[in-house]
Amino acid sequence: MTAAAVARRPIAEGLFTWPDEPARLLGSRCGACGTVVFPTQDGCPRCGEQGMAVTELGRRGTLWTWTSQDFLPKAPYAGPETETDFAGYLVGYVELPDGVRVVTRLVDVARADVQIGMDLELVLVPFTVDPDGTEVVAYAFRPAVPA
């Protein structure tokens, strides 16, 4: 007997490829000046050009800086944790090869092992579960497996 497949959905449309595995973050590239941003947007923050093109960003990056989130976040960032079971988590800026810095949760790494400059890779992680049982998936970065 096999278990029924769990319905899954991204935390927000247009943040990453879905349901493609391995996932990639989606950003925008300006055709006029080449600026790349995350998340996607229509207008370029550098030159004001409209009509930026959606582009897939690199899956690997370097930890630029980090901190810990030791208090329970409020909506819309709240997950399933409560004041009783919340344990905190790590948050970092990951610089991707095209220069974009992404704010993200850091997973699969202990605080004592986090180092600025460490190589990280994109992963999709469970975030919460909708009332109908659908698993909501978010992006995060973890230490990169050597290529």
94: containing domain: 59-143
36-90 pLDDT, tens per residue? 999 999 999 999 999 999 999 999 999 999 999 998 888 767 777 888 888 889 9
pLDDT > 60? residue 1: no
Give a yes or no: residue 101 inside a domain.
yes
Number of domains into which the chain is organized: 1
Note whether residue 70 is domain-resident. Answer: yes
Task: Indicate whether this model's pTM tops 0.85.
Answer: yes
Q: Is the pLDDT of residue 97 over 90?
A: yes
Give a yes or no: residue 118 inside a domain.
yes
Tell me if 115 is assigned to some domain.
Answer: yes
Pair of tokens at residue 65 = 């800086």
